[in-house]
Amino acid sequence: MPKIVVVGSINMDLVVLTSRYPEIGETLTGEGFMTFAGGKGANQAVAASRLGSSVVMLGCVGNDAFGRELSARLLNEGVDTAWVDVIEEVETGVAAITVAGGDNAIVVIPGANHRLSEAHVQAAERVIRDADVVLSQLEVPMPTVLAAARMARKHGKPFILNPAPAQKLPGELLDLVTLITPNEFELATALGCKGADYTELLDFLPGRVAMTRGAHGAFYSCSSGTLHHQPSFAVEVVDTTGAGDTFNAALATFWHLGLAEAIRRACAAAALSVTRLGAQGGMPTLSELDDFRARQA
Ligand code: RIB
């Protein structure tokens, strides 16, 4: 059972279902409203746990109903929440998500997620030292992500970073990451080369980028610089929210199998994740993933 530490966000997702996105200034009658557990960090933690990893979550919630519910749901998914801190004076993070035609648009209010600090990472040195993989994203402060990357390097642990939401990455972080997992836009933004061709950008970090392209699968370069493509799997798309988080969790879980195999399984897990509503709704268990892969063979 791989041991994974996730350093990241915990949100309550407030999801509106609609047939199309409203125009600016337009009021549209929607089709439904739901709340789901979310946050890129918590989603990664849940997906990795369902796939059979032993997961410790480092994150922050507010002392409120959302925070209590989200912590309880993580525990219920088998995630160790001993390192989830409750912050008194800030509310739990929320994400307002509009889902239309299987796609989504998201506005995140970070709340307590922005209180996850370098001190939290220092305090958890023991769990990072004992981990097989450290996984993070960018919904928590950059100094915290850097602290996690430094700590992972100090203890010789792979550090996988999903650079989302998109932002330019500091040079030190690019040096420290074992693998970044951007989409096309996030890759250009992370490297400070907006508008550049991704095939050239993949060469910047040979063997250290796995770029996701939704229904087109994933692209990655091996350490020799050769570009590889892993096609995605055909499924009926209900909601793409959380597909990237599932991809990252599967990568971390199957990291020990080597990059190509980990990416193959991560694409299959991400495909399954979009077949149900909610970021965590479609995340597969290990046996669901195995069954799906067997049907594709
Ligand atoms: O990646 C999907 C997640 O992004 C959602 O669960 C939402 O909380 C936002 O953080």
Place of tokens 């020990």: 256
Q: How far does residue 279's CA lie from ligand 1's centre (Å)?
A: 7
Secondary structure of residue 164 in the 3-state scheme: coil
Q: Is the CB of 99 under 6 A from ligand 1?
A: no
Q: Is the CB of 111 under 6 A from ligand 1?
A: no
Mean pLDDT rounded to a whole number for the chain: 95
Q: Quick one: pLDDT at residue 64?
A: 98
Q: How far does residue 42's CA lie from ligand 1's centre (Å)?
A: 9
Q: Quick one: pLDDT at residue 115?
A: 98
Nearest alpha-carbon partner for 16 in 46, 40, 36: 36
* Amino acid residing at 228: H
Q: How far does residue 81's CA lie from ligand 1's centre (Å)?
A: 19
Q: Quick one: pLDDT at residue 205?
A: 87
Please name the residues in contact with 110: beta carbons below 8 A apart, sequence gap of 6 or more: 9, 93, 139, 140
Q: Residue 216: left if φ>0, alpha if ψ -120 to 50, beta else—which one? A: alpha
Please provide residue 93's backbone torsions phi and psi, each rounded to the nearest 5 degrees: -60, 145
The answer, yes or no, to whether residue 223 has pLDDT greater than 90, is no
| Ligand 1 pocket test target in 13, 36, 116 with most atoms within 8 Å of CB | 13
Q: In this predicted structure, which of 62-71, 90-99, 199-208, 283-292 has the lowest mean pLDDT?
A: 199-208
17 forms beta bridges with 32, 99
Q: Is the CB of 279 under 6 A from ligand 1?
A: yes
What is the distance between the alpha carbons of residues 134 and 164, in angstroms, rounded to a whole number? 16
Dihedral sign for Cα atoms in the order 150, 261, 180, 39 = negative
Give the tokens for residue 121: 């990472």
Dihedral sign for Cα atoms in the order 83, 89, 92, 93 = negative
Confidence of residue 222 (pLDDT cuts 50, 70, 90): confident
- From the candidates 80, 132, 245, 290, give the one annotated as an active-site residue: 245
Q: Quick one: pLDDT at residue 198?
A: 80
Q: Quick one: pLDDT at residue 75?
A: 98
Report the pLDDT averaged over residues 104-127: 97
pLDDT in tens, 250-282: 999 999 999 999 999 999 999 999 999 999 999
Q: Is the CB of 43 under 6 A from ligand 1?
A: yes
Q: Is the CB of 217 under 6 A from ligand 1?
A: no
The answer, yes or no, to whether residue 102 has pLDDT greater than 80, is no
Confidence of residue 32 (pLDDT cuts 50, 70, 90): very high
The answer, yes or no, to whether residue 76 has pLDDT greater than 90, is yes
Chain mean position to CA 295: 26
Q: How far does residue 95's CA lie from ligand 1's centre (Å)?
A: 7
Q: Quick one: pLDDT at residue 167?
A: 95
- Which pTM value belongs to this model? 0.96
Compare 111 and 224 and report the one with higher pLDDT: 111
**Of all residues in the chain, what percent carry a pLDDT higher than 90?**
90
- Nearest atom in ligand 1 to 244's CA: 1
Please provide residue 235's backbone torsions phi and psi, each rounded to the nearest 5 degrees: -140, 165
Q: Quick one: pLDDT at residue 120?
A: 98
Confidence of residue 206 (pLDDT cuts 50, 70, 90): confident
